[in-house]
Chain A
Amino acid sequence: MPPLITQHDLENRVQDFLAAHDPRTTSKQDFLRARFDAGLAWLHYPEGLGGLGLPRDLQPVAEKAFAAAGAPDNDPRRIGIGLGMAAPTILAFGSDEQKQRWLRPLWCGEEVWCQLFSEPGAGSDLAALATRAVRDSEGEGDSADWIVNGQKVWTSMAHEARWAILVTRTDPDVPKHQGMTYFVLDMTAPGVEVRPLRQLTGEAEFNEVFLTDVRIPDSQRLGAVGEGWKVAQTTLMNERVAIGGGSSPRESGMIGVLAQRWRDNPGVRDAALHDRLMILWVAAEAARLTAMRLSAQLAAGQPGPEGSAAKYAFATLNQQISGLELELLGEEGLRYDDWTMRRPDTVDFVGRSPGYRYLRAKGNSIEGGTSEILLNIIAERVLGLPGEIRADKDVAWKDLPR
């Protein structure tokens, strides 16, 4: 076992690093690369891959010290998919060569990643995916390139991404959870076409990605042929951890916007709206305290299933709050700020108009697991109720009705 490092040791180590790499005089890129090489990027990763093999809970100590020194960050919002989904999967399933190639530029923010899982026919039922990958018949047996054809959808950042994590079907003759294979796709490869997917808000956060005879070298496969589902589970598990708990002040988020509007506009007040406002205020406060309790549980080493509940609760709440906000506005609620097709990197609930909030919130109960799927998870995994009856479990993928 490596010698354990204390919080104090770590703080010293960061201070030594900052002394050697003054953030005021070092370029952002050089600083981030040096930080990675010093093992001060993600502390729980192994040495040589940006980390020191330390417990995860020391990460905030380093982040705090770097932030206090005014050190540049790696733009975690822009590279969130890489950090949250691609990196842990590469770490768990990648070869040494793959880890060396991808992790450093990923963490430094030099290379943006996207995720090619969902398809028009495979959303909540992800294992139904149909994008095919077949060995190039001209190539040499087990190391031959793969040729990929299919369509992916709901891909955020695809238009900026250098790399993608991709799940494909490689054996249609076995049941749907088998016969899948996981790859890293070069988004600049011939045959990759990214088209913006315009949403009901007018903007295009997401893309459709069309793959036509795209060639992927076998060296970019993650995990064994046919084990793509297992690899994808690692990716998705890490996504759920990232969504998890948190802690925020009272009246954070949309309820704060609504409450402030109420305070600022006495003209909108009536008794019926007031009771609805207070019902939502209480619900928001209950959700906030529940998220805090979840954080405390995690910190105390008692992870609970409240993460799924938190996502479900916030989705429901955002929709109700944004709906009431439009009603409060009356005539102004009839207007919208901007239908121009923009391509934002992140969702901006607070900076946009009430109409945008109302429309965008409709996605909260669909993206990252629909509310219906989350309720199934709670019912089955927490309450132990019987699973849904599955008609597709033992049937070869190619024989399933589509």
Chain B
Amino acid sequence: MEGPPPVSEELLYSEPEEELRTAVADLLADRAPWASVLARTESAEPYDAELWKALGTGIGAAGLLIPESLGGAGASLREAAVVAEELGKAVAPVPFLGNLTATALLLAVHDAGNGTAAAADELLRRIAAGEQTVAVAIPFTRSPDTTYKGRVSVTPWPPREDPHEARVTGRVTSVADALPADVLLVPADGSIYVVQASDAKRTAVTSLDMTRVLCDIEYDDTPAMLLTTRYGALQSALLSAAAILASEQLGLAERCLATTVEYVKTRHQFGRAVGSYQGLKHRLAQLWVQIAQARAVARHAVSATGEEQAIAVAVAQAHCSAVAVQAAEECVQMHGGIGFTWEHPAHLYLKRAKSTSLALGAPSRHRRRLAELVDLPAS
């Protein structure tokens, strides 16, 4: 017998993380039951500003990653992931993920601290205080490893010494969480600029996922302030966002399975609960196995650092995206006719699940990236 296996507690949840989960779950149970989420999708206000305020500043979810010196909680992606799990379960219409992506970008600038950090720090302070919500203005489908060449250009080019002088022109489409944002971080010509959202023209689009609002953004000689020429900050922010998205997908899949299991226990056909038929039991058990794996890979993705982080995130996105879609599709199917109706929450899960599987890089994209990282070349 060999010595004890190396045991990684980081794959588990800590007590403070469980406490945070309970606080978020209680808030969501109270303020965002699925029926009200559904009703909101048909209203003029598709995202829930009041809920975001309660979550963002009440519980402090907006400033989780921000250092205490800037008014945040000084927590890590691990805590943010627990919030994302609960938001995924509730398909909650709040700009948590978009705000987190922007925060991660600003933190990368803050950490580099190359003279322009003051602007980033000021924004971080405002996010933590709940005064402003920030979004990164790129298509939601961008994966962390793509070199994003947007259709936004800057004048003057190259950037002047005085960063306030710049103007941006161009158009970006299918941007997540930018509609409720006050400030946009705009990648353009290999640098990143800060634009006041009200200066840009934002047009809501009809999204497949009714619970996460997308918009198209147009800039026409719009005033912009240089944030950083360090474009790598964008990749690192998208990597954090993809890690967090895996946890959101985990939460969504868990909710789909729980809802479906409850249903098949009570729905009777041919004189038996339909959940007693092996055809359904085995599919649900397989789904449970997939979700147990999703939990392990999602935890690893928000714990890994350094070179391992890129591998861990690619694995998590390749796995969790698929599991969320499978869970949501099984949820619709196993609910039978009722699962196909507007009145049942299954469609909210399905739309969210399929959309997130395209977001921040589809599974095939992450597998290709992984192949490079672990030296398994395609040709």
Is B282 within 8 A of A274, CB to CB? no
* B1-35 with Cβ < 8 A to chain A: 1-9, 11-12
| Any B CB within 8 A of the CB of A389 | yes
Q: Is the CB of B367 within 8 A of A385?
A: no
B368 interface neighbour in A278, A296, A374, Cβ under 8 Å: A278
- Minimum CB–CB distance from A63 to chain B (whole Å) comes to 4
Q: List 5 A-B contacts (CB under 8 A).
A: A274-B379, A278-B368, A278-B376, A285-B315, A378-B285
Given contacts A286-B315, A375-B285, A379-B281, contact A385 B261 (CB under 8 A): yes
A220 to B361, CA, bound (A): 64
* A281 engages B370 (CB within 8 Å): yes
Contact partner of A385 (CB less than 8 A), chosen from B12, B264, B297, B376, is B264
Report chain B residues within 8 Å CB of A385.
261, 264-265, 275-276, 281, 284
Q: Does A279 contact B (CB under 8 A)?
A: yes
Residues of A within 8 A of B295 (CB): 290, 293
On whether the beta carbons of B282 and A296 are closer than 8 Å, the reply is: no
Q: How far is the CB of A321 from chain B (nearest CB, A)?
A: 13
A residues 74-112 touching B (CB-CB < 8 Å): 76
Binds A, one of B106-114, B211-219, B227-235, B286-294: B286-294
B284 lies within 8 A of A300 (CB): no
A384 to B273, CA, bound (A): 12
Report which residue of A57, A245, A286 has the largest number of chain B beta carbons within 10 angstroms of its beta carbon.
A286
- Listed from nearest, the 6 A-B pairs whose CB atoms lie closest are A247-B5, A386-B276, A379-B281, A278-B367, A378-B285, A60-B4
B5 neighbours in A (Cβ, 8 Å): 245-248, 292, 295
Q: Could you tell me if A375 and B318 are in contact, using CB atoms closer than 8 angstroms?
A: no
Quote the shortest CB–CB distance from B301 to chain A (angstroms): 10
Pick the interface stretch among A11-19, A201-209, A306-314.
Answer: A306-314
Q: Is the CB of A313 within 8 A of B289?
A: yes
Bitwise, B269-282 to A at CB < 8 A (1) or not (0) is 00011011010011
| In contact, B9 and A275 (Cβ under 8 angstroms) | no
User: Once the chains bind, are B293 and A286 in contact (CB under 8 Å)?
Assistant: yes
A275 surroundings in chain B (CB, below 8 A): 364, 367
Q: Is the CB of B1 within 8 A of A282?
A: no
Q: How far is the CB of B375 from chain A (nearest CB, A)?
A: 6
Q: Encode contact with A along B242-279: 1 for CB under 8 Å, 0 otherwise.
A: 00000000000000010001001100000011011010
How distant is the Cα of A389 from the Cα of B318 in the complex, in angstroms?
A: 38
Identity of the chain B residue whose Cβ is nearest the Cβ of A258 in the assembled complex: B376
Interface residue A334 (Cβ < 8 Å from any Cβ of B): no
* Smallest beta-carbon distance A249→chain B, Å: 9
| Contacts from B to A (Cβ < 8 Å) | 1-9, 11-12, 257, 261, 264-265, 272-273, 275-276, 278, 281-282, 284-286, 288-289, 292-297, 299-300, 315, 318-319, 364, 367-368, 370-371, 374-379
Q: What are the residues of chain B within 8 A of A302 when measuring CB–CB?
A: 12
Contacts of B8 in A (CB 8 A): 247, 292-293, 296
Q: A292-B8, A376-B281, A379-B284 are in contact. Are A274 and B370 (CB under 8 A)?
A: no
With CB as the reference atom, state the residue of chain A lying closest to B377: A269
Return the chain A residue nearest B320 by Cβ. Answer: A286
In the complex the two chains form, is A278's CB within 8 Å of B297's CB?
no
Which of A's residues lie within 8 Å of B, judged by CB? 57, 59-60, 63-64, 67, 73, 76, 245-248, 259, 262-263, 266, 269-271, 274-275, 277-279, 281-283, 285-287, 289-290, 292-293, 295-297, 299-300, 302, 306, 309, 312-313, 372, 374-376, 378-380, 382-389
Complex: how many Å from CA A269 to CA B379?
6
A73 interface neighbour in B1, B4, B12, B264, Cβ under 8 Å: B1
Shortest CB–CB separation between residue B305 and chain A, in angstroms?
16
Contact at A379–B1, with CB atoms within 8 Å? no
- Contact at B292–A290, with CB atoms within 8 Å? yes
Q: A259 — which chain B residues lie within 8 A by C-beta?
A: 374, 376
Is A63's CB under 8 angstroms from B300's CB? no
In the complex the two chains form, what is the Cα distance from A384 to B284 in whole Å?
11
CB distance from A15 to the nearest CB of B (A): 16
- For A372, what are the chain B residues with a Cβ–Cβ distance below 8 Å? 282
Known contacts A63-B1, A386-B265; decide if A292 and B296 are in contact (CB<8 Å): yes
A297 touches B12 (CB 8 A): yes
Q: Give the distance in Å from the alpha carbon of A115 to the alpha carbon of B367 in the complex.
A: 44
Chain A nearest CB from B370 CB (Å) reads 6
Asked if B284 and A383 make an inter-chain contact with CB atoms under 8 angstroms apart, the answer reads yes
A200 CB, nearest partner CB in chain B, Å: 25
A382-B288 contact in complex given A59-B1, A64-B3, A274-B378, C-beta closer than 8 Å: yes
In the bound assembly, the distance between CA atoms of A117 and B370 in angstroms comes to 45
Cα of A382 to Cα of B9 in the assembled complex, Å? 23
Residues in A whose Cβ lies below 8 Å from that of B1: 59-60, 63, 73, 76
Provide the residues of chain A in CB contact with B273, threshold 8 Å: 386
- The contact of B265 among A287, A293, A384, by CB within 8 Å, is A384
Bound complex: CA A262 to CA B377 (Å): 8
Closest chain B CB from A226 CB (angstroms): 31
Contact A274 B281 (CB under 8 A): no
Chain A neighbourhood of B282, CB < 8 A: 372, 375-376, 379
* Cβ contacts under 8 Å, B379 to chain A: 266, 269-271, 274
* Contact in complex: B376, A262 (CB < 8 Å): yes
Least Cβ–Cβ distance between B142 and chain A, in angstroms: 20
Closest A residue, CB atoms, query B293? A286
Beta-carbon contact of B265 and A281 below 8 Å: no
**If A289-B293, A299-B7, A386-B265 touch, does A376 touch B285 (CB 8 Å cutoff)?**
yes
- Closest chain A residue, CB of each to CB of B369: A278
Contacts of A59 in B (CB 8 A): 1
Most B CB within 10 A of own CB, among A57, A76, A385: A385
- Provide the residues of chain B in CB contact with A309, threshold 8 Å: 288-289, 292
Are B293 and A313 in contact (CB-based, < 8 A)? yes
